[in-house]
Amino acid sequence: MKVVDMHCDTISVILNEQRKGKNTNLRRNNLNIDIEKMKQGDYLLQNFAMFVDFKRANNPLEQCLSLIDCFYDELEKNKDSISLALNYEDIIKNQKEGKISAVLTIEEGGVVCSSLACLRMLYKLGVRLITLTWNYPNCIGFPNFNMDNCDMPDAHLANTKEGLTPFGIELVQEMERLGMIIDVSHLSDAGFYDVLKYTTKPFVASHSNVRSIANHCRNMSDDMILELAKRGGVLGINFAGDFLEECEPGMKIRSTINNMVKHIRHVVNLAGIDCVGLGSDFDGIYQNLEIDHAGKMPELEKALRAAGFSEEDIEKIFYKNVLRVYKEILK
Every domain of the chain and the residues it spans = 3-329
∠104-110-114 over CA atoms, to 5°? 115
Over range 161-166, report the average pLDDT: 97
Query: Which of these ranges, 55-64, 181-190, 295-304, has the smallest mean pLDDT?
Result: 55-64
* CA–CA distances in Å: residue 180 to residues 59, 104, 176, 203, 328: 24, 11, 6, 9, 10
Which is it for the CA torsion 3, 82, 37, 279, positive or negative?
negative
Q: Tell which wins on pLDDT, 331 or 12.
A: 12
pLDDT for position 199? 98
Confidence of residue 34 (pLDDT cuts 50, 70, 90): very high
Angle at which helix 189-198 crosses helix 222-230, to 10 degrees, equals 20
Confidence of residue 21 (pLDDT cuts 50, 70, 90): very high
Q: pTM for the complete prediction?
A: 0.97
Query: Which of these ranges, 182-191, 249-258, 267-276, has the smallest mean pLDDT?
Result: 249-258
pLDDT for position 149? 73
Query: Which of these ranges, 52-56, 181-185, 206-210, has the smallest mean pLDDT?
Result: 52-56
Over range 17-29, report the average pLDDT: 97
pLDDT for position 159? 94
Residue 181 has pLDDT above 80, yes or no: yes
Q: Residues with Cβ < 8 Å from 248, sequence gap 6 or more? A: none
Query: Which of these ranges, 111-120, 199-208, 241-250, 295-304, has the smallest mean pLDDT?
Result: 241-250
Confidence of residue 69 (pLDDT cuts 50, 70, 90): very high
Over range 96-121, report the average pLDDT: 98
Q: Which residues pair with 289 in a beta bridge?
A: 255
Tell me the pLDDT of the chain averaged across its residues: 96
pLDDT for position 12? 97
Amino acid, single-letter form, for residue 79: K
For 105-141, give one letter per residue: b (16+ CB within 10 A) or e. bbbbbbbbeeeeeebeebbeebbbbbbbbbbbbbbbb
Q: For 72-101, what is each residue's pLDDT tens digit? A: 999 999 999 999 999 999 999 999 999 999
Q: What are phi and psi of 263, to 5 degrees?
A: -65, -45
Residue 36 has pLDDT above 80, yes or no: yes
Confidence of residue 67 (pLDDT cuts 50, 70, 90): very high
Looking at the domain that runs over 3-329, which CATH code has it been given? 3.20.20.140
Q: Terminus-to-terminus CA distance in the chain, angstroms?
A: 26
- Kindly report the number of other CB atoms within 10 A of residue 169's CB atom: 18
Q: For 228-255, what is each residue's pLDDT tens digit? A: 999 999 999 999 999 999 887 777 899 9
